[in-house]
Amino acid sequence: MNNQKVSIITPLYNSEKYIAEAIDSVLLQSYTDFEMIIIDDCSQDNSVKVVKRYNDKRIQLIRLEANNGAGIARNIGINEAKGRYIAFLDSDDLWLPNKLEKQINFMRSKNLPFCFSSFYLMDDKGQDLNKYREALPKVDYRKMLRNNYIGCLTAIYDTEALGKILMTDHKKRQDWGLWLKILSKTKWAESIQEPLASYRLRNESLSHHKWNLIRHNYLFYREQVGLAKLGSLSRMFSFLFYYFHYKIKYTKAK
């Protein structure tokens, strides 16, 4: 039988408050052919102890000796992955129980190598904010240069069609860079409009620090896309327009 396994890549760093909820949301999946690869990025809290409480052969823990950042941690997980499909779930986010089943069936039925979905929003304590971020129906490389329209916790790509594609080792925006790499190989990605995951809005998240938002997105265009200084500045200002437009237009009440 063809490999239909999903490899779930979860970087872990000081997330003892959240990681159990993330793991539980994976173990509740209706689609059971998966492996969850958790890469501990040298946590200083009890995150590893929490993971070790789980006695499930589908959960694999990799411990790093130094803190390298989420991009490198995810790449180690991708390299270790044995599944056909690569999916991403950060240690503080959650999946709905039918997430994998719906997305894999969607990809198979439409012969898609890459897809994503809408997602719910919750606060730092896991309380539902009664809002969701609606995914664009379809994105291509050109559109993705404007803004990161794909929530990392919803993305899945097919290594049988695309091969294993890695993130950059930059500290920020590695996922956005990965989507552009994938979209340079395929014409577009399609989404499931139904929310299939819940994203935790952390108080220290990038979106809460507007200067960091500007700085990191300028560096994204400069270092990951490879644009010159003026081109990066132009793209960064364009990004700000599309970023706030997207957040306002596509953040919907439940």
For the ranges 2-6, 143-147, 150-154, 241-245, the maximum mean pLDDT occurs at 150-154
**Could you give phi then psi for residue 165, rounded to 5 degrees?**
-115, 130
Asked whether residue 205 carries a pLDDT value surpassing 60, the answer given is no
Calpha distance 168→178 (Å, rounded): 7
Q: What is the pLDDT of residue 217?
A: 79
Render pLDDT for 234-253 as a digit per residue (tens, 0 to 9). Answer: 888 888 888 888 888 999 99
Residue with more model confidence, 230 or 92? 92
pLDDT score at 148: 93
Per-residue model confidence (pLDDT) at position 204:
56
Whole-number pLDDT of residue 214: 80
pLDDT on residue 30: 98
Is pLDDT larger for residue 210 or for residue 140? 140
40 pLDDT more than 90: yes
Which of the two residues, 246 and 46, has the higher pLDDT score? 46
Q: Give the separation between CA 1 and CA 176, rounded to whole angstroms.
A: 33
What's the whole-number mean pLDDT along residues 197-218? 74
Angle between helices 229-250 and 210-219 (to 10 degrees): 130
Which pLDDT band, with edges at 50, 70 and 90, does 209 fall under?
A: low
Per DSSP, what are the bridge partners of residue 61? 38
**What pLDDT score does 242 carry?**
80
- pLDDT confidence of residue 1: 46
The C-alpha atoms of residue 32 and residue 215 are separated, in whole angstroms, by 41
The more confidently predicted of residues 250 and 227 is 250
DSSP-assigned beta bridge partners for residue 199: 121
Nearest residue to 91 (alpha-carbon basis) of 32, 17, 30: 17
What is the 3-class SS of the chain, one letter each residue? CCCCCEEEEEEECCCCCCHHHHHHHHHCCCCCCEEEEEEECCCCCCHHHHHHCCCCCCEEEEECCCCCCHHHHHHHHHHHCCCCEEEECCCCCEECCCHHHHHHHHHHHHCCCEEEEEEEEECCCCCEEEEEECCCCEECHHHHHHCCCCCHHHCEEEHHHHCCCCCCCCCCCHHHHHHHHHHCCCCCEEEEEEEEEEEECCCCCHHHCHHHHHHHHHHHHHHHHCCCHHHHHHHHHHHHHHHHHHHHHHEEEC
Q: How far apart are CA 182 and CA 196, in angstroms?
A: 21
What pLDDT score does 207 carry?
Answer: 47
Give which of 103, 105, 107 is closest to 151, Cα–Cα: 103
- Whether pLDDT at 149 is above 60: yes
Q: Is 210's pLDDT higher than 80?
A: no
What is the per-residue pLDDT for 159? 98
- Alpha carbons 121 and 151: distance in angstroms, whole number: 11
pLDDT in tens, 52-72: 999 999 999 999 999 999 999
* pLDDT value for 94: 98
Residue-range domains of the chain with CATH: 6-204 (3.90.550.10)
Asked if the model's pLDDT at residue 208 lies above 70, the reply is no
pLDDT digits (tens, 9 = 90+) for 116-144: 999 999 999 999 999 999 999 999 999 99
What mean pLDDT comes out for the span 3-23?
Answer: 97
Does residue 171 have a pLDDT over 80?
no
